Amino acid sequence: DVKVTQSSRYLVKRTGEKVFLECVQDMDHENMFWYRQDPGLGLRLIYFSYDVKMKEKGDIPEGYSVSREKKERFSLILESASTNQTSMYLCASSPLMSSGPYNEQFFGPGTRLTVL
Amino acid sequence: DQQVKQNSPSLSVQEGRISILNCDYTNSMFDYFLWYKKYPAEGPTFLISISSIKDKNEDGRFTVFLNKSAKHLSLHIVPSQPGDSAVYFCAASEVGNTPLVFGKGTRLSVIA
């Protein structure tokens, strides 16, 4: 079974703090993604990566950065956390080309971040 | 502009009846469509998918229908069960290694 793990289920930080959210997948997937989920807004793509050291901006990259130094690990960084970044953050991974459902993404359990 | 739209934020259905969740899209380049199910405090899990070359795909109680000319797809759940209560996301992708585009989700409540 594909497993995507996220470092924390719940996190509380203060405004202005630097925040690291870590994601690890164990299926040797090339693609990794970071989303945030907010009520009424669905899943919005922040950043994604097709390969080590590669990154692409998603729909809402402002205020975020990412790091992918190893294939299995994709980190989301909030350089200076703000209250409007309070959200559920979801990491996902997928193979480059799959023999099964095409472009199916596998999600982690999510991190509920609260910025005070 | 939203490329994938789920116009019903919520749906309530009685146990045993059919649940129909709808999804519209605007991008004619979308080639593959997926439905995900999400429980509170968990990540979304893949439910069922359909390729643009098909108009129907069935998996147990779940059937997805695709109407390419109308740019519309729907998920049918028959019979609905209380454990189906969750948020359902419609997603689409173009050919190639591109990210999925998600709708805003529909919260399904199945009442016993």
Residue B103 touches chain A, beta carbons under 8 Å: yes
- What is the nearest CA distance from B112 to chain A, expressed in angstroms? 25
Residues of A in contact with B32 (CB under 8 A): 101-103
Q: Categorize the per-residue pLDDT at B1 as very low, low, confident or very high, splitting at 50, 70 and 90.
A: confident
The model's pLDDT over B50-69, given as tens digits with 9 standing for 90+, comes to 999 999 999 999 999 999 99
Q: pLDDT band for position A97 (50/70/90)? A: low
Contact A43 B102 (CB under 8 A): yes
Q: How many CA atoms lie within 13 A of A82 on its CB side?
A: 4
B20 touches chain A (CB under 8 A): no
Cβ atoms within 10 Å of B81's Cβ, excluding its own: 13
pLDDT digits (tens, 9 = 90+) for A39-77: 889 999 999 999 898 999 999 999 999 999 999 999 999
- Contact yes or no for B97 and A96 at CB 8 A: yes
Question: Running DSSP on this structure, what letter comes out for residue A71?
Answer: T
